[in-house]
């Protein structure tokens, strides 16, 4: 009996025989050649590693990006680091083309929209075509070439997704909060290799996301929102809303919050201050923020102390742009508004003796101060935190403005509703007796009084125009017109404008 392996080898070589016509001599030739063919060695198995090496070969290119550019790879250097010198396949095998890790990775990539990203940005179509082609029998060499291409594209897609979730798609070289805390350089290729070894690819990729409450809740709300059916006539509006949520997830990746158990968060478009502790909102205050022409900056700092009955040292920009024209018309403007003028060394001056018409913004050499009182622009209390923008959080005598839905009204500082309640909370947080003066007592105090906190409270000012509210997406006004530039960079030109 002819062994099965020999028969397979014969069938492998049979198509190579040239039979111009079925003649007795031709048949005789085949019969004579049969013993030789059956005893011939089997063709060597086609291995995938050399094909991966050929795809990623950088020997003639000079650099990894140049070598991988024809393939359209986004993480070429990391792909090379992932395969190392051996180029052994990680996602496929001859017996089972796609292993469990590959199937998990493909499922995760298909859900990129849940994280505000597009599956199309992660080789969606090539990977789908390669996956489908491997399901059908083909000549071994062709099959191996398809495996090699799937290996390279899948590795590139997963590594880029890891980076995009950790650092943001538009700023791939941004160092994340976790990296800063760990004090080490992130090695995505090594991290992915370790995840493959224990079968935790999806968990490892997703673990790089910001861990703070605001990002998590927005991402989860977006994922739930995407499961809702879309009416045929609302497909465009649905895409607009998706992009609105997605660009804010991108922002959080650039400016993620540290994993503090307690912090103050001011979201400028929400006109709101939150005190967050143990993943819950402990306090909520309305705020007034900067006008579009004098926007409140985003920043991170710590509330270190507050001042009762504060003096207001007028910022130079306000003094020269807004007060100087009044002074040039009438020097009595200062007295009527409880303001005084000083030299830069602190010497009190008589405003009537200054030739205001000769003063310009360039040669303005004065300091204007408003003493504590009912009309003081800072109100009865100001909260201090170090920052390079000279902004702070304070009370205001114009409290009627907190009733307005649009509260972008200040010169950049943040005015706070019910500030004494926040001060009382800060003292209780430290176990200190709450003995704060009333508004009348503050107004009567002749001198400011500082209250130092024993435990500074982290404070973050951010700009988020889409947030999660009880598990639902809540869209906020883009008061500083910052959304479109980010949206365009992520998704390209818009056919219609973003949400108002």
Residues catalogued as catalytic = 394, 413
If you write DSSP's letter for every residue of 175-237 in order, what string do you get? PPHHHHHHTS---HHHHHHHHHHHT-HHHHHHHTS--SHHHHHHHHHHHHHTTS---GGGHHH
Q: For residue 128, with 0-12 CB atoms within 10 Å meaning exposed, 13-18 middle and 19 or more buried, which class applies? A: middle
Nearest to 414 by CA among 304, 314, 266: 266
Closest CA to 334 of 362, 294, 363, 375: 375
Dihedral of CA 376/378/381/382: which sign?
negative
d(CA 129, CA 132): 5
- Residue owning tokens 């209780």: 428
Residue 298, classed as helix, strand or coil, is coil
Q: How far apart are CA 152 and CA 141, in angstroms?
A: 17
Distance of alpha carbon 69 from alpha carbon 305, whole angstroms:
54
Determine the Cα–Cα distance for residues 460 and 471; give it in Å rounded to an integer. 22
* Residue from 198, 395, 166 nearest 287 by CA: 395
Q: Is 452 helix (H, G, I), strand (E, B) or coil?
A: strand
Distance CA 98, CA 151 (A): 10
Sheet of 348-349, strand order: 312-313, 366-370, 339-343, 348-349
3-state helix, strand, coil in the chain (%, to 5): 45, 15, 40
152 contact partners, CB below 8 Å, separation of at least 6: 52, 55, 56, 71, 73, 79
Beta carbons of 181 and 258 less than 8 angstroms apart = yes
**By three-state DSSP, how is residue 447 classified?**
coil
Beta strand pairing call for 393-394 and 414-416 = parallel
- Give the β-pairing of 262-267 and 449-462: parallel
Q: Please, are residues 71 and 151 in contact by the beta-carbon 8 Å criterion?
A: no
């Amino acid at each position: 009996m002819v062994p099965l392996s020999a028969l397979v080898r014969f069938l492998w070589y049979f198509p190579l025989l040239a039979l111009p016509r079925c003649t007795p001599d031709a048949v005789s030739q085949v019969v004579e050649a049969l013993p030789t063919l059956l005893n011939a060695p089997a063709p060597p198995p086609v291995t995938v590693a050399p094909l991966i090496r050929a795809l990623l070969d950088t020997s003639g290119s000079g650099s990894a990006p140049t070598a991988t550019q024809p393939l359209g790879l986004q993480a070429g250097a990391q792909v090379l680091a992932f395969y190392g010198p051996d180029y052994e396949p990680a996602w496929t095998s001859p017996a089972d083309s796609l292993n469990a890790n590959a199937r998990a990775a493909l499922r995760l990539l298909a859900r990129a929209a849940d994280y505000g990203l597009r599956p199309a940005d992660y080789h969606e179509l090539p990977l789908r075509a390669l996956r489908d082609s491997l399901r059908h029998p083909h000549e071994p060499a062709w099959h191996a070439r398809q495996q090699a291409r799937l290996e390279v594209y899948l590795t590139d897609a997963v590594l880029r997704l890891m980076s995009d979730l950790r650092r943001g798609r538009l700023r791939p070289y941004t160092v994340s909060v976790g990296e800063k805390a760990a004090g080490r350089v992130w090695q995505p290729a090594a991290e992915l290799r370790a995840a493959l070894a224990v079968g935790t690819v999806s968990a490892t990729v997703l673990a790089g996301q910001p861990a703070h409450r605001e990002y998590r809740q927005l991402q989860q709300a977006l994922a739930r929102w995407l499961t809702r059916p879309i009416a045929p006539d609302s497909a465009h509006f649905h895409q607009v809303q998706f992009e609105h949520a997605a660009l804010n997830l991108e922002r959080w990746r650039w400016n993620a919050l540290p994993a503090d158990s307690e912090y103050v968060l001011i979201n400028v478009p929400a006109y709101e201050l939150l005190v967050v502790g143990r993943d819950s909102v402990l306090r909520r205050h309305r705020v007034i923020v900067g006008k579009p022409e004098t926007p409140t900056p985003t920043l991170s700092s710590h509330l270190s102390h507050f001042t009762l009955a504060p003096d207001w040292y007028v910022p130079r920009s306000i003094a020269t742009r807004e007060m100087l024209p009044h002074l040039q018309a009438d020097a009595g403007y200062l007295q009527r508004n409880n303001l005084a003028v000083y030299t830069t060394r602190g010497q009190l001056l008589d405003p009537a003796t200054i030739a205001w018409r000769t003063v310009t913004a360039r040669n303005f050499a004065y300091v204007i101060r408003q003493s504590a009182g009912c009309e003081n622009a800072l109100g009865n209390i100001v909260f201090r935190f170090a920052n390079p923008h000279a902004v702070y959080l304070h009370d205001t005598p114009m409290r009627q403005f907190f009733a307005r839905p649009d509260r972008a009204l200040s010169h950049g500082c943040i005015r706070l509703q019910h500030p004494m309640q926040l001060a009382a909370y800060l003292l209780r947080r430290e176990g200190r007796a709450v003995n704060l003066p009333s508004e009348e007592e503050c107004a009567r105090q002749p001198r400011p009084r500082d209250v130092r906190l024993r435990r500074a409270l982290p404070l973050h000012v951010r700009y988020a125009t889409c947030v999660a509210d009880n598990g639902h997406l809540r869209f906020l006004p883009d008061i500083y017109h910052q959304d479109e530039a980010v949206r365009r960079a992520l998704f390209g030109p818009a056919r219609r404008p973003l949400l108002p």
